[in-house]
Amino acid sequence: MNLLMKEAKSGEKEAKSGEIREEIKEISEKEGVPLEFLLKKISQGKVIVPRNLERREEVKLVGIGEGLTTKVNVNVGTSTLQTK
């Protein structure tokens, strides 16, 4: 199991045990949902908090899943090719 998978599994275990990280509190506030609701959804595997352990400071924390706001990831590029 790689480091990212271990981190994901430990987040689920922490939620089940009632352990609360600062990141989870922050996401709860941003999403406008009770902390208990967010912990329950994480422990059920219905919400995830994606994290890149190599870029912790650069990445905006978000929760993705049931009962949270919709996130849209768009990568808009330009092309020199034109359609005729």
Residue 70 lies in a domain: no
- Token pair of 39 as six digits: 């912990």
Residue 75 lies in a domain: no
Residue 14 lies in a domain: yes
- pLDDT tens per residue across span 16-26: 666 677 888 99
In terms of pTM, does the model score above 0.85? no
Residue 78 lies in a domain: no
Parts of the chain with a pLDDT under 50:
1-8
Q: Name the residue range of residue 36's domain.
A: 3-65
| pLDDT for the residue numbered 68 | 94
Total number of domains in the chain: 1
| pLDDT for the residue numbered 74 | 81
Residue 20 lies in a domain: yes
DSSP sequence for 6-55: HHHHHHHHHHHHT---HHHHHHHHHHT--HHHHHHHHHTTSEE----GGG
Residue 26 lies in a domain: yes
